[in-house]
Amino acid sequence: MSEGLLQAAAVVVPAHNEAAGIGDCLRAVAAASLPVARAGVTVEVVVVADSCTDATADIARAAGVHVLEVQAGSVGAARATGCAQALRVLDGLPRQSSWLAMTDADSIVPGDWLSTQVRIAAAGYQAAAGLVCLDGTSPTHVAQRWDAAYEVSRASSWLHDRVHGANLGVRADAYRRVGGFDAVSAHEDVRLVRRLQATGRPVAWPDRPVVTTSARMCGRATAGLAADLRRLA
């Protein structure tokens, strides 16, 4: 098998009290997984229900995905736990032919999301850091300010503003070699990509597909997108 081709992909979704949106998120992930599965790539989905007091875990189980109920306490720890479980689920397959795709429970991936990451892997990249857009629920002036700032960051080297756990993928062996996600409350995605770059692993920066993510200003991560939107309000 060519080094870039994949045999398996696991989608990891951390969730903290996301009963309102996890169903829509997983339906979108299922739709994006279908063309990849039809092409012969094994696809598994892992939801990490972190400290949930609502029906998040039950809704995810009803969708037929792997569900872990944990008390991780941070998005970084939850992602790391989910990736560890994904690697166990994919046990027996070479890690260089397995891919870890990340999104968030308050996000909707488009239909070509996972197939695009598979093509990026086939081209030899070790990771893919894609774009996000807001779901339209924020006040107009906040959305306009965020869009303007985001366009500036896309044209610059501001890594913090260009890496999103809602639209991220990494080859499993590269993930393991750089130590995986840190158990931090925010920017675990940025830290992972920085280590990939520092060790010479090629990262793709595709403009498409774009993942739609929640524009809520009271988010789950202490210094995540919601905090950025509050500063723009």
- pTM of structure: 0.89
Angle (CA) 153-191-138 rounded to 5° is 45
Whether the pLDDT of residue 219 is over 90: the answer is no
In terms of average pLDDT, the best of 63-72, 129-138, 208-217 is 63-72
Say if 44 falls within a structural domain.
Answer: yes
Determine the Cα–Cα distance for residues 44 and 20; give it in Å rounded to an integer.
22
Say if 97 falls within a structural domain.
Answer: yes
Say if 154 falls within a structural domain.
Answer: no
For strand 168-171 and strand 98-102, is the pairing parallel, antiparallel, or unpaired?
antiparallel
Instruction: Give the residue-averaged pLDDT of 129-153.
Output: 71
User: CATH number, domain at 176?
Assistant: 3.90.550.10
Say if 67 falls within a structural domain.
Answer: yes
Say if 117 falls within a structural domain.
Answer: yes
**Structural domains in the chain (count):** 1
Say if 152 falls within a structural domain.
Answer: no
Strand order across the beta sheet in which 168-171 lies: 66-70, 42-50, 8-15, 98-102, 168-171, 127-129, 203-204
Determine the Cα–Cα distance for residues 153 and 162; give it in Å rounded to an integer.
7
Say if 17 falls within a structural domain.
Answer: yes
The pLDDT tens digits for 183-198 are 999 899 999 999 999 9
Q: Which residue has the higher pLDDT, 62 or 147?
A: 62
Q: How sure is the predictor about 52, in pLDDT bands with cuts at 50, 70 and 90?
A: very high
Q: Which pLDDT score, from 0 to 100, does residue 162 have? A: 81
Q: How sure is the predictor about 1, in pLDDT bands with cuts at 50, 70 and 90?
A: very low
Do 52 and 16 touch, CB atoms closer than 8 A?
yes
The pLDDT tens digits for 10-23 are 999 999 999 999 99
Say if 228 falls within a structural domain.
Answer: no
Contacts of 140 (CB under 8 A, 6+ apart): none
Domain range for 169: 8-131+161-212
